[in-house]
């Protein structure tokens, strides 16, 4: 039987992710949204495209959660994106309400699924989705680190004029302004970045990575980035469906790793059919640990605020 991916929220990120999944031929897609007609219209459009992509995947659109039943992967992109001048954290209250509804319904109908939360502020929404769903914490993940790392790789590759494919970099911590791009561990085909680019310039590239989302929001004026976010979500979906055991930076539930408990944070995760199958612990310097902890404290504060409402 073909795999099934349900995407909750048929907006920019959701619909673009649906396109990538369908085009890959990996799975059928159920697109859900509260807006009437939108998921149905986009699903029909995507299904018509499938014949031109030479794949046998199909897409359904619905305003009824029943359509999402028995999914292998559930992707949550429902909610509101940023407008210019807004931080991801400004979306807290509006999106927390959305996520509580979504997580309860999808967990009831697809108890075996791996859930990927995308809605911002993502680490907080991932925690809420896990709490509300009652799912095993290894089956709930947040997408942020794959996107942030791809932005870092892009900026470095533009600087050096090399292909981003040959650039290895990882961004840890929360998916917010306090994210932790690990420049120390970045390499170009094995050559340390720090031996190729000066310290001050690296600091600028790290700064641009931290503001990577805001840079696009300020250009678009309405809405936020979706092509690279969808590509990052697709990388996680395929690692899960193909049981690839890839090591990708994802927001995962920590039970003491990196000295942190009861929080979803961006860390290197081994991704497979069961979700976050393993968390890898990198040796961090004292400064990196401080940055990681600061980012964790900011996430915890927002979780407390959201759950107090």
Q: Which residues bind ligand NAD (CB under 6 A)?
A: 8-14, 33-35, 38, 77-82, 91, 95, 98, 101-102, 118-120, 122, 143-144, 147, 175, 223-226, 229
Nearer to ligand NAD, 26 or 76 (CB): 76
CB of 227 to ligand NAD, least distance (A): 10
Measured in residues, the chain has a length of: 309
Nearer to ligand NAD, 197 or 302 (CB): 302
CB of 163 to ligand NAD, least distance (A): 23
Q: Which two tokens stand for residue 168?
A: 């290895």
At residue 22, φ and ψ (nearest 5 deg) are -65, -45
**Dist. CA 168–CA 66, nearest whole Å:** 41
Nearer to ligand NAD, 79 or 173 (CB): 79
Q: Which two tokens stand for residue 15?
A: 């619909």
CB of 288 to ligand NAD, least distance (A): 21
**Dist. CA 81–CA 70, nearest whole Å:** 28
CB of 144 to ligand NAD, least distance (A): 5
Closest-CA residue to 95 (of 308, 259, 306):
306
The DSSP annotation for 73-140 comes to EEEE--S----TT--GGGGHHHHHHHHHHHHHHHHHH-TTPEEEE-SSSHHHHHHHHHHHH---GGGE
State the catalytic residue, choosing from 42, 82, 137, 175: 175
Q: Which residue is nearest to ligand NAD (CB)?
A: 11
- Looking only at the bridges linking them, the beta strands covering 114-117 and 73-76 are parallel
**Dist. CA 108–CA 105, nearest whole Å:** 5
The residue whose two tokens read 């990996």 is 26
CB of 50 to ligand NAD, least distance (A): 21
Asked about 175 being catalytic, the answer comes back as: yes
Nearer to ligand NAD, 81 or 197 (CB): 81
Nearer to ligand NAD, 28 or 33 (CB): 33
Catalytic residues: 175
């Amino acid at each position: 039987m073909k795999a099934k991916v349900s995407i909750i929220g048929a907006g920019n990120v959701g619909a673009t992710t649906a396109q990538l999944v369908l085009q890959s031929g990996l799975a059928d897609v159920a697109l859900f949204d509260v807006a009437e007609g939108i998921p149905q219209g986009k699903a029909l459009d995507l299904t018509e495209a499938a014949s031109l992509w030479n794949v046998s995947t199909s897409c359904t659109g619905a305003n009824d959660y029943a359509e999402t039943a028995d999914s292998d992967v559930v992707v949550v992109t429902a909610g509101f994106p940023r407008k210019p001048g807004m931080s991801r954290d400004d979306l807290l209250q509006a999106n927390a309400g959305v996520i509580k509804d979504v997580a309860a319904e999808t967990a009831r109908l697809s108890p075996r699924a791996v859930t990927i939360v995308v809605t911002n502020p993502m680490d907080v929404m991932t925690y809420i989705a896990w709490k509300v769903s009652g799912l095993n914490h290894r089956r709930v993940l947040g997408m942020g680190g794959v996107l942030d790392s791809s932005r870092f790789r892009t900026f470095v590759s533009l600087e050096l004029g090399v292909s981003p494919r040959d650039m290895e970099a990882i961004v840890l911590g929360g998916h917010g302004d306090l994210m932790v791009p690990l420049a120390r561990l970045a390499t170009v085909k094995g050559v340390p970045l720090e031996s190729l680019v000066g310290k001050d310039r690296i600091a600028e590239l790290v700064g641009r990575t931290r503001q990577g989302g805001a840079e696009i929001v300020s250009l678009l004026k309405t809405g936020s980035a979706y092509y690279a976010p969808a590509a990052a979500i697709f990388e996680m979906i395929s690692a899960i469906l193909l049981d690839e055991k890839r090591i990708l930076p994802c927001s995962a539930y920590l039970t003491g790793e990196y000295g942190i408990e009861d929080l979803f944070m961006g860390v290197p995760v081994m991704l497979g059919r069961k979700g976050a199958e393993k968390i890898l612990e990198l040796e961090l310097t004292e400064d990196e640990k401080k940055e990681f902890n600061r980012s964790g404290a900011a996430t915890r504060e927002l979780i407390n605020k959201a759950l107090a409402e």
